[in-house]
Amino acid sequence: MKKMTLLFAAVSVAMIGMQSCKKEQNHKPPINESFDIQLKANEVYTFSLPKNKRDDAYEITTQSAHFSISEVGKDVSGNRIYQYTPSLNYTGTDMVVVANVEENPANQPPTGGSGKPKPHLFPPAHSGNCNGGEEDHYIITIHFTINSSNTTNK
């Protein structure tokens, strides 16, 4: 009976802790960055994405309209990058929006999609919120101006 009471008390404390953790969360506003990039027709462009505390992946939230390649990935060193190549011989403007996303939503198991366990299931005692500290959420807008690689006017 004592074991059952102790188990019930532990579960109750965990439930209260999880609820108060949710109430204490104070989300920082996203960091919006905008870049104007000049390219020549058919030129390949690579952008190094900012690092974030949990190394969350990035995704394209607004896809460019005139691309042959527009994707997020990693370089050979494992740094997150965005790669863009305009459509063949396209000249004009284009735009893409890329943002980092949390890889482990609250309704997923603690391993997320990577198979590696997350380091903390509960916040450390010194933490003021559930994820052990504020995460930087980036929203990156890249405006492309693609000019003809030919310097003569038609």
The pTM of this model reads 0.63
The rounded distance, in Å, linking the Cα atoms of 96 and 39 is 14
Half-sphere CA count of 154, side-chain side, radius 13 A: 3
**Domains of the chain, residue spans:** 26-104+135-147
> What are the tens digits of pLDDT across the range 79-116?
999 999 999 999 999 999 999 976 544 444 444 444 44
Helix, strand or coil for residue 124?
A: coil
Beta bridge partners of 94: 144
Q: List, for residues 29-88, the tens digit of each pLDDT value.
A: 889 999 999 999 999 999 999 988 888 899 999 999 999 999 999 999 999 999 999 999
Residue 33 makes CB contacts below 8 A (sequence gap 6+) with 50, 138, 139, 140, 141
Q: Which CATH class is domain 26-104+135-147?
A: mainly beta
